[in-house]
Amino acid sequence: MPETTFLDANELVINMGPQHPATHGVLRVKLKLDGEKVVGSECIIGYLHRGVEKIAENRTYQQFAPYVDRMDYVAAVTNGMGYCEAVEKLLGAELPPRAQYTRMILAELQRIASHLLWLGTHALDLGAMTPVFYTFREREEVLKIFENYCGARLTTHAFRIGGLQYDLYDDFEREVKKFCDQFLPKIGEYEQLLTTNRIWMKRTQGGGKLSAEDAVALGVTGPVLRGSGVKWDLRKAQPYEAYDKVEFEVPVGANGDTYDRYMVRIQEMRQSVGITRQCVERIAPGPIFGKVGKVIKPPVAEVYHSIESPKGELGYFVVSDGTTNPYRVRVRPPSFVNLQAFDKMVQGHLIADVVAIIGTIDIVLGEVDR
């Protein structure tokens, strides 16, 4: 947003946030308005910056693992999974199948939980009060499974570099299956509330459009990219864990608007249920830890590894100097990069749509600011 145009008489610059209920954290947006129309925007971020990457350099590989949970704190399991996999790649460690399937089950449940939180708050932002109560009810079931597995609900630190800390508890498979059976019809209930709801359609269709070319140019990933019609999912393109052994579809949108991104996430939840079921079928007794020593000293090298987190491509670039501490850890946060597309999406829309567009990108400020 060029500085000089701020003086134009017809335009008004207003400030939104950082303490605003619809910015999903501490995001501050400067909006340049022409009447009620947004003609320019600037995101001001960093209120939640904790220097995660600097902390990593001062901790051992294992000590840093719990910190990554505090970035995308509504999807801690996938954060931890990405970090553990990056270090395992650096070490060249192979995981036993039981550990792989456990990770996939928890990661897919986390995707469901993250999408449910997104759906509830996004609908609430747009004035639909009801869905948030339903989605939080189902999210609670997922969090209970996490709590039974590792004792924590939110910042789980569920995995260790090389495998798992805990084996599955006795009732795990039954509980996960029960959740899948109960949850699948619930998605239909959310859809009844929203998908053909005329108010919902009016608010979301055609809003926050992002073309496929713009999406790729801006490096947008995850449901935002797929909503724009690019059929790309890291679980398919570059499979990690055992994603090449399960079957699932990659849902895409056509118009790249807020409604399409909503539909993509709804369908992704169904696919996640499918993946979870397949994993539960295949999980077999066996070891849960690969050949990784107690002291982690990777070779002098560097790797970039990324996974499909609920928000998009979550990457870790880890540089080792052969000691027990990483020389550098770079986190490629999906929310940070996706937020950059906000300016493109918001131009020309009414100020009332700004909250819809912030909601549809699905950002978590802990991850944007790190």
Partner 1 sequence: MVKPEPWSSPWLEELKKRFPGAITDPLVFRGQPYFTVSKESLIPVCDFMKTAEGGAYTYLVDETAVDYPKREKRFEIIYVLYSFQRNDRVRLKLLTGANEKVPSVAGVWPTANWLEREVFDMFGIEYEGHPDLRRILLPDEWVGHPLRKDYDILKQDDAWVQANLGIESGQ
Q: Which amino acid is at 193?
A: L
Q: Minimum distance between the CB of residue 369 and partner 1, rounded to whole angstroms?
A: 6
Closer residue to partner 1 (CB): 158 or 365: 365
Do residues 355 and 16 touch, judged by C-beta distance below 8 A? no
Q: Minimum distance between the CB of residue 50 and partner 1, rounded to whole angstroms?
A: 10
β-partners of residue 20 are 25
With H, G, I as helix, E, B as strand and everything else as coil, classify residue 328. Answer: strand
Token pair belonging to 233: 């999912």
Q: Minimum distance between the CB of residue 72 and partner 1, rounded to whole angstroms?
A: 16
Closer residue to partner 1 (CB): 83 or 190: 83
Q: Which residues make up the interface to partner 1 (CB under 8 A)?
A: 45-46, 49, 51, 53-55, 57-58, 89-90, 92, 216-219, 230, 232, 237-238, 299-304, 306, 313, 315, 317, 319, 327-328, 330, 332, 336-337, 340, 369-370
Among residues 219, 224, 311, which one has the least CA distance to residue 264?
A: 224
Q: Which long-range contacts (CB under 8 A, 24 or more apart) does 90-93 make?
A: 90/298, 90/299, 90/301, 90/302, 90/303, 90/318, 90/320, 91/161, 91/162, 91/292, 91/296, 91/298, 93/161, 93/162, 93/290, 93/291, 93/292
Closer residue to partner 1 (CB): 2 or 185: 2
Q: Minimum distance between the CB of residue 130 and partner 1, rounded to whole angstroms?
A: 36
Rounded distance between C-alpha atoms, residue 271 and residue 42, angstroms: 35
Rounded distance between C-alpha atoms, residue 355 and residue 369, angstroms: 20
Closer residue to partner 1 (CB): 160 or 328: 328
> Measured between alpha carbons, how far is residue 150 from residues 143, 160, 176, 305 in Å?
10, 12, 15, 25
Q: Minimum distance between the CB of residue 63 and partner 1, rounded to whole angstroms?
A: 13
Closer residue to partner 1 (CB): 54 or 202: 54
Q: Minimum distance between the CB of residue 304 and partner 1, rounded to whole angstroms?
A: 5
Closer residue to partner 1 (CB): 258 or 306: 306
